[in-house]
Amino acid sequence: MGLSSNHALQRAKRTLDAAKAGHTGTLDPFATGLLVCCMGRATKISGAMLNADKSYLATVRFGEETDSGDLTGNVVSQAPAGFAGTDEAALRAVLSRFTGSISQIPPMYSALKRDGKPLYEYARAGIELEREPRQVTIHKLELVSFDADGMQAVLDVDCSKGTYIRTLAQDIGRALGCYAHLTALRRTRVGPFPLDRSVTLEALQDMADPKTALLEMNELPAGLMPVKPN
């Protein structure tokens, strides 16, 4: 398990000696990839960026479902005895059913709140609460690779705000009749910001002048600049 999104943000803030800092959406604790951090005046755009579409590479393991939807959880459901992997053609057919506007039930292991308390706190106490389905949009869902044994696949996902990739993997596994969970998740894009333009936290901390890694306000993509009141 790596740093939490907030711990990574605070380390970047200290490294850059910024007065204010914010990010544009947390990563799951087991996930890797892009965390867009806004420093100083740029914190004005962090709220708007929370609504941005995002992209992920998701590694899905077939045969077992966990309570958290990922490899950190406890197994709660398993494929029937004798399961020897899923079929690529069947997987492709199921993926086509999960593009466009779909309904998701948020996972218990999430930061959504009920009565002021995050759902994951209820989950850790062994309490499962009823959750209302939510509409999200999957703009792209492509099969990147498929293991020859039919036990694992990597998916490329472009999705709207509020999409849970762990839930997507679970729902795909259920549709296949074999269950599934994530073993890896990497965020590759947030809005107009791609992973390949980012810098690692370690590289930032090793820079002689870390502020050279910052994107200035006048360099922001069109539409992100805060609008000045008349």
CA nearest neighbour of 35 among 156, 197, 221: 197
The pLDDT tens digits for 164-191 are: 999 999 999 999 999 999 999 999 999 9
The pLDDT tens digits for 198-207 are: 999 999 999 9
Q: What is the pTM of this model?
A: 0.91
Domains along the chain with CATH numbers: 1-51 (no CATH), 54-189 (3.30.2350.10)
Active-site choice (17, 28, 53, 209): 28
Q: Is the pLDDT of residue 230 over 60?
A: no
Please check whether residue 159 is in contact with residue 185, taking contact to mean a CB–CB distance below 8 angstroms.
Answer: no
pLDDT for 115: 92
How far is it, in rounded angstroms, from Cα 103 to Cα 131?
A: 12
Name the phi and psi angles at 200, rounded to 5. Answer: -70, 155
Residue 57 — left, alpha, or beta (φ > 0 → left; ψ -120 to 50 → alpha)?
A: beta
Does 196 participate in catalysis according to the annotation?
Answer: no
